[in-house]
Structure 1
Amino acid sequence: MTVPAIHLTETAGARSFVLPLLVGTGVLVFLLLFGDSLLQDSDSYWQIETGRWILAHGTVPTVDSFSFSKAGEPWQSSSWLAQLIFALAMQAGWAGPVIVTALAVAAALAMFTAYLERYASALVTAALALAAMVLIMPHVLARPHMLALPVMVAWFIGLIDAADRKAAPPWALLLVMALWANLHGGFVFGLMLIGPLGLEALRQAEPQRRLSLALRWAAFGIAAVAACCATPYGWGTLLAATKILSLGEVLSTLGEWASSDFSKFGTFEASLLALLGIALARGLTLPWPRLLLVLGLVHMALVHVRSIEHYALLVPMIAARPWALQLGLARKSAEAKPDLAPPAWAGVVAVIAIIAATIAAAPRLHYRFDEPQVPERALAAVQAHGAKRIFNAYIFGGYLISRHVPVFIDGRAELYGEARVMDMMRATAGRDPAALDRMLTGNDIDATMLPPSAAAVRQMDERPGWRRLYADDIAVVHVRD
């Protein structure tokens, strides 16, 4: 196994940039053609409004200024840089956030393709890139986690390449972690990758080098934790990023944090079966650190659907090198002719040209946000009535914030806490009328704004002292009589 491993390492990066460029361009064009699909989460509204707040005040938020139910309470944004980018992009209308998101996803898939092409044919690499895109597509939204996607891929490639070199990660990789920590709270996942990939490096290293290598990986891990704190919030960044995981029951009610559903056959199940079938049919195995990492990623994807993107992008890269060795692809990679590849500067020029063309096309791109989350006419009716304190549905919070209306609740579940969010969910669903009473009376609510499908709408129709003011297909408004 030693000789093929050397061949693989020596030819890493020797392939042409053409296939990654084609994949990235294809992803970019696809997302721009179907850009409306990126605008289906009302959280995008408050994310952009937070970025505007940062621009207006020249600092990051430390207390809540968007709600009346939690006004002035401590809150910090774990995605302040991404929100700033979205706010700047929004100057071009919704085309701006769509373009920024599309470029980020395209970059992530291009890097994914470039890594896999080291160990697989162009056809297999393209097929895996397509499969990864299909898996992550339901989670591709104009939100900060997409801007962090290429950063995650770059971080992982840096770690796994170091492990395969039987060396510690380069210190320059800490800059990637610092960027990730400012873009999105998912950087905690990046820290978790250091352990298993460090073990993989030790497994491959000669016994006499393992102690010194372990110390270097440990030093890198400590430095990575420190790099996470290179944000306006300092050490508070770590605490803020872990708050979302303490929401308990809330995580099972929010769509992106729900468990994977296998009641109907879907792409995630198909990918799991394909992974298992190929491994069993070909007798393929993984070194134990990589196996543990794959099992961990599968577990994450089963528990929370939003983790499917980690599974889709990282599992193929984890298996690529070991499986290429076992399938005898090492020598074929070694026989590649790098001198036939276009010069690297041509790839840089092509990337710049694509980005410039995309930005130039922005004025001609017109997208609309998902209408069921935009209660524009309902809000106009509330404002005409003079109501100030609106008991709004969870999905309407982002839009109301964008209209500078103080909200009762919005997508910042970590601010409101498990008890408040669950009371809201049960009350809206009509399962807890007592919770609805508490929230209406305890917060001096003078109007409610709920989707027509909410069971609480019927309760409000029958509630003494309240009357229906407005209704359409998006929202129903009740006010005090």
Structure 2
Amino acid sequence: MLAWLAFLPFALIRSENLAESDTFWQVRTGLLTIAEGRIPSVDPFSWTVSGKPWTLNSWAFNVVLGFSYEAAGLVGVALICACFVAVIGGLVLLLARRLGAAPVLSAWVLLIGVPLLTLFLSARPQLVDYIAVLALVMFLQRLVEVPKPVWPLIAIAVLTTLWVNLHAGALLGVAIVGASALLVFLRRSTRSRSGWFLAALLVTMLCSLVNPYGAGLLAQTLQVKSESAVITEWQPFNPADPLQLVMFAIGLLGLGVAARRGDPVFTAAIGVAVCGSVAAMRVLPILVLLALPVLAAFASHEVVLRYFASRRRLFFQGATAVLVIAVGLAVFNLPFFGRPDPAHFPRTAIKAIPAGCKLFNEYQLGGLVILERPDVPVSIDSRNDLYGAERVTQSLRVLDGQGDLNEGLSGADCVLVPPATGLARWLNTNPGWVLKSAEPTAELFIRR
């Protein structure tokens, strides 16, 4: 509990700035869903693909953000996401405790893992994936331990149903349960539990269909992957990236420890996350979160504990210093809590866009425009599965100032792009456009 309380300031610090474009259009979509009492079926936000069929893979999460926004604006959105992060930290510590890890080592392992995870703990439905995977592993372990684990089976059913509606990442849970069932069957000491794991696999498969799109959600998930070729987080694992390499190494170490301990559930879950991370780097945080409890338990060796006891004062002072700094930063940042990151988003320029103006915008800026200026149709935003890889690539070429720019801006009456782009430089010298607003993060141009 003390380790978890020490983690809370880090959850608040991460939620200070909202830096993901997804967050903003998800809030607006949630507000639209609440207002109309139904899930949007076609795109209502752009002028380039207006009316195109749109499948939402996180409709319930959008509604949660919508209610949070109605209650307290973006502060409410940041606060609910900070609560999600706090739950993630709590589940990591709880799993470490169940594996026999010492509290002090669990705390240090979690604090060491926080810097690696910071970039991924943004206000997006992936937070639900992190919580759900950790909870799923906890329930699967109960299938091994409890004589007649009816309640863990029911818990898995409820978890999967909630998960698939909050985010389509629930399909990862099916893979984890399937891999766990296989390892439980192959291990002689747990083979008698195979029936319960097969039941869990059937439950997760059936409950994954309990969503507004049914089995169509699988096709939508595959479409997201195919249409995200130019998106960084969907790229395969890159060992040349130091952050990715460290995270992957931690995952492999956790996999080795889990296999050596003979733990079929953690071995299966981490193994699935390793395969997922190779295919797409966005799975790396799940890999690290699953590995942390295993590594905390592994580190809780008598020799290590004696060393910590002999250096108790040193570690206490170090932990106190880290915690004081974290609390200080959290308190200092409270006045800015929930703001769109000023290093990425030009709020003044967005306010200056004429009403109803068809906007050509940079990819990351579309989300905040959708939230703050729903009267302004955007050209593109981070719903890359809706726009398709070809349209996203063409938008990036225009942004770089390549090709026929007059043709690229056809249909647009306003442009909102970063000042360092090739398009911004071209517009500054083009008599057909006038600069209306300029900020370090973006310039707004109006067609004459």
How would you bin the TM-score normalised by the shorter chain? 0.7 to 0.9
Pairwise CA distance, 1:468 = 3.5
Cα shift at 1:293: 5.2
**Counterpart residue number, 1:228:** 208
- Counterpart amino acid of residue 186 in structure 2: R
Contact persistence 1:64–1:71 (CA under 8 A):
yes
Point out the more displaced range, 26-35 or 397-406: 26-35
Q: CA deviation at 1:275?
A: 7.0
Shift of 1:195: 1.9
The match for 2:283 among 307, 331, 335 is 307
Q: 1 CA distance for matches of 2:258 and 2:210?
A: 45
Residue aligning to 2:123: 142
Which residue number corresponds to residue 457 of structure 1? 424
Structure 1 residues 372 and 284: alpha-carbon distance in aligned structure 2, compared to 1, 3 A threshold:
closer
Q: What are the equivalent positions in structure 2 for 1:28-427 lying under 5 Å apart?
A: 28-33=8-13, 35-37=15-17, 39-90=18-69, 91-118=71-98, 119-163=100-144, 170-205=153-188, 214=194, 216-250=196-230, 254-259=231-236, 265-266=242-243, 269-270=245-246, 285=260, 294-301=270-277, 303-317=279-293, 366-383=337-354, 388-402=357-371, 403-404=373-374, 405-427=376-398
Q: Which residue does the alignment assign to 2:403?
A: 433
User: 1:341 is matched with which residue?
Assistant: none
- Number of aligned pairs? 411
CA offsets, 1:294-321, max 9 Å, x none?
A: 4543354355442221111112446778
- In structure 1, the residue matched to 2:320 is none
The structure-2 alpha-carbon separation of the partners of 1:390 and 1:29, relative to structure 1 and needing over 3 Å to count, comes to same
Q: CA deviation at 1:45?
A: 0.9
Moved more, 227-236 or 292-301: 292-301
Distance 2:346 2:240 in 1: 33
CA displacement at 1:196 relative to structure 2 = 1.5
In structure 2, relative to structure 1, the CA distance for the partners of 1:264 and 1:184 (3 Å cut) is closer
TM-score normalized by the length of structure 2: 0.80
The answer for unaligned runs of 5 or more in structure 2 is 304-333
Instruction: Give the deviation of 1:173 after TM superposition.
Output: 1.1
**Aligned partner of 2:283: which letter?**
S
CA shift for structure 1 position 366 = 4.2
Match of 1:391, SS state, is strand
What amino acid does structure 2 have at the position aligned with 1:306? R
What secondary structure, in the 3-state scheme, does the structure 2 residue paired with 1:410 have? coil
Q: Deviations over 1:369-426 (max 9, x none)?
A: 212443333234431xx67211111111011111112111111111101111111122
What is the DSSP-based 3-state SS (H/G/I as helix, E as strand, rest coil) of the residue aligned with 1:382?
coil
**Change in CA separation of 1:238 and 1:276 when aligned onto 2, cut-off 3 Å:** closer
Distance 1:288 1:162, change over 3 A: closer
Question: What secondary structure sits across from 1:409 in the alignment?
Answer: coil
Cα 1:373–1:160 change in 2 (3 A) is: same
- The 3 A distance-change label for structure 1 pair 22 and 238 is farther
- Identity across the alignment (%): 26
Mark the structure with the bigger radius of gyration: 1
Change (3 A) 1:166 1:247: farther
Partner Cα separation in structure 2 for residue 150 and residue 196 of structure 1: 19
**In 2, Cα distance between equivalents of 1:96 and 1:246:** 34
Alpha-carbon distance in 2 for matches of 1:294, 1:101 = 25
1:477 to 424, 444, 447: 444
TM-score normalized by structure 1? Answer: 0.75
2:173 partner letter = G
Alpha-carbon contact 1:163-1:200 (below 8 Å) kept: no
Q: 1:25 to 1:458 in 2, by over 3 A?
A: same
* CA deviation vs aligned residue, 1:226-247 (integer Å, no higher than 9, x gap): 2112223333333333321111
